[in-house]
C-alpha cells in the first residue's frame, strides 16, 4: 500500500511504478503489454506516464474494460486513454480499441479475447464507490459467470447496478484475464475510497465487492496507490 500526501505525489509515484515495470519488461522481452482502466481517477497518472522515456513502440496497450460506446465517445475508456496517455513519448505505443463501428458486442469480446492470447504484464485497476472493478459490479446479473469464466473478457449487463451510471452494456476483464499479469496496481483517490478499501480488504466475497478479485485472484500481489 502506497499512501501519498498529495495528488501530485500520487500521480508521479504511480506513473514511476508503472514505467519502471514496463522498462524492466522491455529489457527482457521484445514487447511489453499494459492493460488500463478508465473512469474518473487515472488520467493524471496516464498523462505523467506518457512522458516516461520508454521504448514505447514496443509497448502494447489495451483496456481492462470498456463501456459499449464507440472509441471517440467522450465517455469511452478508449478516448480517456488516448487523450491522457497516447501523447508525448507514448504516441508510439500500439493501442487496441475494443469497440469499433459496425462491430457487435460479441465480436468486440471475441476480438478482445484474441488480443488477450498475449498475456498482460501490467494491469492497472480502478475501484468505483460501489466496490466495482473493471466492469464487474456488485451482484450484477451474470457476475458468477464472469467470475468463473475461462475467457479473459466477457460482455457485461449492469442493469440494476447504480454504480454503472447510464453505461449498462460493457465489456470487462475477468479474473482469468487478470491472473497471468506479473504486476497489478490499484489506483484510488479520496477518503471515501480509503474507507471502502478497508471494507473490501476485510472480506472475501467478490459478489459484495468485485474489487476483491484484485487480491483474491491467484497470481501477483496487489500494489495499491492512494492519496486523499
Ligand atoms: O466505470 C468504470 O469505473 C471504474 C472506477 O472508476 P472511477 O471513476 O471511480 O475511478 C473504472 O476502473 C473502470 O475502468 C470504468 O469503466
Atom of ligand 1 nearest to the CA of 125: 12
Taking CA atoms only, the protein residue closest to ligand 1 atom 3 is 39
Residues with CB under 6 A from ligand 1: 37-41, 64-65, 77, 126-128, 135
Using alpha carbons, list the distances in angstroms from residue 21 to 141, 177, 200.
Answer: 35, 19, 26
- What's the pLDDT tens digit per position in 124-172? 999 999 999 999 999 999 999 999 999 999 999 999 999 999 999 999 9
Domains of the chain are 2-227 (3.40.50.1360)
User: In which band, very low, low, confident or very high, does the pLDDT at 205 lie, cut at 50, 70 and 90?
Assistant: very high
**Distance, CA 44 to ligand 1 centroid (Å)?**
14
**Distance, CA 25 to ligand 1 centroid (Å)?**
26
Q: Is the pTM of this model over 0.90?
A: yes
Q: What is the pLDDT of residue 197?
A: 98
ipTM of the prediction: 0.99
Pocket-testing residue among 38, 40, 85, 225, ligand 1, by greatest number of atoms within 8 A of Cβ:
38
- What's the pLDDT tens digit per position in 53-100? 999 999 999 999 999 999 999 999 999 999 999 999 999 999 999 999
**Distance, CA 27 to ligand 1 centroid (Å)?**
31
C-alpha cell at 124: 492497472
Using alpha carbons, list the distances in angstroms from residue 178 to 24, 44, 55, 172, 220.
Answer: 20, 23, 24, 11, 9
C-alpha cell at 19: 514505467
Amino acid at each position: 500500500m502506497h499512501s501519498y500526501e498529495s495528488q501530485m505525489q500520487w500521480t508521479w509515484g504511480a506513473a514511476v511504478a508503472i514505467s519502471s515495470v514496463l522498462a524492466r519488461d522491455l529489457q527482457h522481452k521484445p514487447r511489453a503489454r499494459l492493460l488500463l482502466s478508465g473512469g474518473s481517477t487515472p488520467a493524471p497518472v496516464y498523462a505523467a506516464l506518457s512522458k516516461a522515456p520508454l521504448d514505447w513502440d514496443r509497448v502494447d496497450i489495451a483496456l481492462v474494460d470498456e463501456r459499449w460506446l464507440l472509441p471517440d465517445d467522450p465517455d469511452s475508456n478508449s478516448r480517456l486513454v488516448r487523450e491522457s496517455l497516447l501523447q508525448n513519448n507514448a504516441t508510439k505505443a500500439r493501442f487496441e480499441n475494443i469497440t469499433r463501428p459496425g462491430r457487435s458486442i460479441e465480436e468486440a469480446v471475441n476480438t478482445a479475447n484474441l488480443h488477450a492470447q498475449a498475456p498482460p504484464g501490467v494491469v492497472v485497476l480502478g475501484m468505483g464507490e460501489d466496490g466495482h472493478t473493471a466492469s464487474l459490479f456488485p451482484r450484477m446479473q451474470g457476475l458468477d459467470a464472469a467470475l468463473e469464466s475461462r475467457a479473459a473478457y466477457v460482455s457485461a449487463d449492469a442493469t440494476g447496478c447504480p454504480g454503472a451510471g447510464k453505461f449498462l452494456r460493457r465489456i470487462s476483464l475477468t479474473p482469468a484475464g487478470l491472473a497471468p499479469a506479473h504486476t497489478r496496481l490499484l489506483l484510488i483517490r479520496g477518503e471515501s475510497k480509503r474507507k471502502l478499501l478497508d471494507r473490501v480488504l476485510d472480506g472475501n466475497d467478490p459478489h459484495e465487492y468485485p474489487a476483491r478479485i484484485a487480491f483474491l485472484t491467484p497470481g501477483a500481489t496487489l500494489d495499491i496507490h492512494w492519496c486523499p
